Amino acid sequence: MAHEQEPERLQKLLSRLGVASRREAEQWIRAGRLSINGRAAVLGDRVDASDQLRLDGRLIRQAHAARELPVLLCHRSPGLPLLSTPADPESFAAQLPRRTGPRFMSISPLPQVDGGLELLTADGALAARLQRAVRAHPVVYSLRSRGELSAEQHAGIMGGQLDRGTALKVVRIDGAGGSGSNRWYQIDTIGASGNDLRQLLERQAVAVSRLMRVRLGPLQLERSMPRGRWRELLPAEIESLLKPAGEPTPGADNPGSAR
């Protein structure tokens, strides 16, 4: 999966380096904040590793462009921000070593209130490809509700209807134990984001006390990975995410899920 070293559009390179999204880079170009070898950059400029790039006069180092930036599988605790913001600098990503990337992008991020399996990378081009790919993959959530789902709620969730008129593809809902006011369910979907599933559950007046993503495509949240930990995906795991859903990847692992 090595990146080509041919000249590429400036905004694409900055996205791949994790410096900015393509849209942000285009805004910087229009605002005159980027320069190439001392001249102001313009939209359409192509650059390579020999070009000197500066943002507001500060050198943008391309040393890590030649190596692949990893994709990280993370177990995020509910309530902890995934990415830092000026208003909230404390986040999961802030705890990661610098060698994994300068600026992270998330693949199908969960709402902050929820937790479980998250994917991060500083490779902007790869992040965009993964975002598109995971929409066709199975995504499994573990739900703890206050009380048992009624027949009407079960049917409403299976219907998948969202506020904007589209529908999620919910494959099945299985009881997963619990007693009293705490009931666990496993919800199997195709490509459902955490935000959309949250909206669907709210439409059915489900009293959610915990919602965790435990599977994303071929990746499972291993029981052996505690909250707050992460690991780098193997190249075969990344390729399996990029393959069409259902196409097998030789040698891919299938560890058990975690709650």
- Tens-binned pLDDT, residue by residue, of the chain (259 aa): 444 457 888 988 887 776 777 888 899 999 999 999 999 999 999 988 788 888 898 888 765 444 567 899 999 999 999 987 766 778 888 888 776 666 788 999 999 999 999 999 988 788 888 999 999 999 999 999 999 999 999 999 999 999 888 999 999 999 999 887 899 999 999 999 999 999 999 999 999 999 999 999 999 999 899 999 999 999 999 999 998 776 554 444 443 444 4
| Residue boundaries of the structural domains of the chain | 8-65, 71-135+229-242, 138-216
Tell me what pLDDT residue 66 has.
Answer: 45
Dist CA 19 CA 16 (whole Å): 8
Tell me what pLDDT residue 133 has.
Answer: 93
* pTM as predicted: 0.72
Tell me what pLDDT residue 3 has.
Answer: 43
Q: Domain 8-65 class?
A: alpha beta
- CATH code reported for the domain at 71-135+229-242: 3.30.70.580
Which residues have a Cβ under 8 Å from the Cβ of 16 and sit 6 or more positions away?
Answer: 3, 8, 65, 123, 124, 125, 126
Tell me what pLDDT residue 219 has.
Answer: 96
Task: CATH number for 138-216: choose from 3.30.2350.10, 3.50.50.60, 3.30.70.870, 2.60.34.30.
Answer: 3.30.2350.10
